[in-house]
Amino acid sequence: MKEISVQELKEKKDKGEDFQLIDVREDFEYEMSNLGGLSIPLSGILIEADKVEKDKPVIVMCRSGKRSAAAIMQLEQKGFTNLYNLEGGILAWVEQIDPTINVY
C-alpha cells in the first residue's frame, strides 16, 4: 500500500497540486475537524466508490491511518491503483502541521 506523510500532503496542498482527499471517518468526526476532503465514511466506501477519482492521485485519511488503510484495501479490490494512505491520519496532521485543530 502506498503511503504519504502529512508533510507531503501539506506540500501538495500548498502547491495547489491536483489530487482528491477523502476522509473516511464518521460524520461527527468530520464535523469536529477536517482538512477539506470529501467525507465518505468507511462503512459506505464501496457504495460511494463512484465518487472516488480514477484519473488523479487520491489520498485517503482517517483519525490514525487504520480505517483509511481498510478503505484502500476495499477500493483496490475494485481495481483502484491511484490510492495513498495518509500516514498517522489527522492525529499526525495535528501533531506535525496544525496543533489548533480539535481532535478527540
Residues with a catalytic annotation lie at: 62
Nearest by Cα to 37 from 9, 73, 2, 11: 9
In the chain the beta strands, taken as DSSP E runs, fall at 3-4, 20-23, 38-39, 58-61, 83-86
* Alpha-carbon gap, residue 21 to 5, rounded angstroms: 13
Write the Ramachandran bin of 17: left for phi over 0, alpha for psi from -120 to 50, otherwise beta.
beta
